[in-house]
Structure 1
Amino acid sequence: AVHIAVAAEVVVIVVLVVVVQAVVVVVIAVVVVVVVVVVVVEVVVVEEGEIVLLEA
């Protein structure tokens, strides 16, 4: 029974660690995507703004 309990605890700990790592990876990915999108949008807006200014 002790061995089963220990094994169960180990499995739970491993699962928790994997879940935490997965969440961290997802959060980092989301942050990177948001940053890239913001930068791209700013660049596009700036380019369009310059084009508008040149046309004006």
Structure 2
Amino acid sequence: MTELADVLTGHHPGRRDAAETTVFTSVGLPSEDALTCDLLYHRARERGAGREVSFD
């Protein structure tokens, strides 16, 4: 198992191809949760996935 910090610091390459699966287990560390949400949001926007929801 690889820690998120190891991927972010370059100590582990993370996924090497699209066939590999990534599983993220949140342990309640706010900085990891925020980073993960930001990454997923931007990846979804790049791919046109999902839809905008108004919180009015």
User: TM-score scaled by structure 1?
Assistant: 0.36
Higher relative contact order (CA 8 A, sep 6+): 2
Larger Rg: 1
The structure carrying a bigger helix percent of its residues is 1
User: TM-score scaled by structure 2?
Assistant: 0.36
